[in-house]
A and B are shown apart, each in its own frame.
Chain A
Amino acid sequence: QQQVKQSPQSLIVQKGGISIINCAYENTAFDYFPWYQQFPGKGPALLIAIRPDVSEKKEGRFTISFNKSAKQFSLHIMDSQPGDSATYFCAATQGGSEKLVFGKGTKLTVNP
């Protein structure tokens, strides 16, 4: 049973555009939602994370929007750059459990 559904599977954006990746979860006990960035042949790198007590968190060009009632959260990459081309994973976890539950990933390509 997939607990975190991520879309789209792939995304192509022009340089300077906005990249938007969406995730939906089922478990209402989840209380921490990180996003990871993974380049080919590398391990996932923690990008930004949010807890459900806030609706938005921004770090530089990266913003997480969180909708608790809809059980959805999304990653927005503003002014997308070719160097942002990577696979992005959303994840979720809950207090008392240390395991991250990952979405299947979105392969982002930013064309120059």
Chain B
Amino acid sequence: NAGVMQNPRHLVRRRGQEARLRCSPMKGHSHVYWYRQLPEEGLKFMVYLQKENIIDESGMPKERFSAEFPKEGPSILRIQQVVRGDSAAYFCASSLLSGDYEQYFGPGTRLTVT
């Protein structure tokens, strides 16, 4: 399967815990994007990363959220001290080239905060 992979698919956390979401881009893709989808809403851009660099984090909340895309391994979206409002579906997308515009999405991680 050469598609974008995300894990876990479902994640349940209690308020105050940490959530770590992982994304492996399509083979050969070095550009990764994270989006958040609230119920009955469209997707909202969070962050754009290339290997070892954060290019655009204009959609990331200023506190508790961070993202990385290391030289080796998947991209990680980390949410510290989760609150109920963080409950959402988090999607990762990847593209082959900068400016390519064609972004391919993974199946998402559904985070539930209890």
Contact = CB atoms under 8 A, between A and B. Distances in A.
Given A98-B31, A104-B41, A44 B101 contact: no
Interface in A80-104: 89, 93, 95, 97-104
A101 B41 CA distance: 12
Given A98-B55, A98-B98, A99-B56, A46 B104 contact: yes
Interface residues of A, number: 23
B35 to A, nearest CB: 8
A27 B102 CA distance: 20
A102 B43 contact: yes
Given A43-B106, A44-B91, A46-B104, A98 B43 contact: no
A102 B42 CA distance: 6
B55 A105 contact: no
B70 interface: no
Contacts of A103: 42
A108 B101 CA distance: 25
A62 to B, nearest CB: 16
A45 B105 contact: yes
Interface in B43-59: 43-45, 48, 55-56, 58-59
A44 B105 contact: yes
B104 A104 contact: no
B92 to A, nearest CB: 8
Contacts of A45: 105
A89 B6 CA distance: 21
Interface string A36-53: 100001111110010000
B45 A99 contact: yes
Interface string B92-114: 00010011011111111000000
Interface string B25-40: 0000001010100001
B21 interface: no
B30 to A, nearest CB: 12
22 contacts: A34-B102, A36-B105, A44-B91, A46-B104, A49-B102, A95-B99, A98-B31, A98-B33, A98-B48, A98-B99, A99-B33, A99-B59, A100-B45, A101-B45, A102-B35, A102-B42, A102-B44, A104-B40, A104-B42, A105-B40, A105-B41, A105-B42
